Amino acid sequence: MQLFIQSCNYDGNGRTGRLIVGSYLSKYLEKYSAITFSYAVNKDKSKFYKALEEIPSPLNQGDLTFYLINMLELLSTGQKGIIEDLELNLMKLERIKEYINKDKWKNYKDERDLLYLIISINVFVDDHIILSVQELMELSNKSRHIINRVMDYLVLEKYVEIVSKKPKAYKVCDECLESILPS
């Protein structure tokens, strides 16, 4: 235990402590608990460091209860934060699906599929994503001809905009996103 305390206090930023706690969590709970713990520590580093500083205090006489309580609180906070993020993303996904499943897309299957793909990548992966025709072909398994036809329609209807002509690349319009996912 003394080695653990020294490692945590003297590595300069608590990396060893986070590594040890994370490995125990992934071993005894599951890997997602370790991820949520890391998430919470990054959001509240002062609580983590304060708990580490309390371990060697002579007043604690080697009792780790304070430290363990703080680690459990960080884990709980991290898991609540992840749950909130997942719930928010689920609401966004439901809104996107609701929009894409409107009657106006009934006769525009390729357009609907591609718009769903572009919006989903923008919302859940990278909100500054620019997709080339080649990337759209790879992601959708659609031909260049279909991609060009669909993207021309989506540009005309102001769902997406052309960002580059050589190679041709697109991004979703901010107005489109705001109409689907109002702030």
Say if residue 148's pLDDT is above 90.
yes
pLDDT for 2: 46
Please give the Cα distance from 123 to 105 (Å, whole number): 20
Q: What residue ranges of the chain are covered by domains with CATH 1.10.10.10?
A: 101-180
Residues 75-108: pLDDT tens digits? Answer: 898 889 888 989 999 999 999 999 999 999 999 9
The correct CATH number of 101-180 out of 3.30.413.10, 1.10.579.10, 3.40.50.2300, 1.10.10.10 is: 1.10.10.10
The distance of Cα 51 from the centroid of its chain, to the nearest Å, equals 28
pLDDT for 13: 56
Q: How is residue 169 annotated by DSSP?
A: E
Sheet holding 131-132, edge to edge: 131-132, 168-172, 160-165
- Angle of CA points 40, 30, 76, to nearest 5°: 30
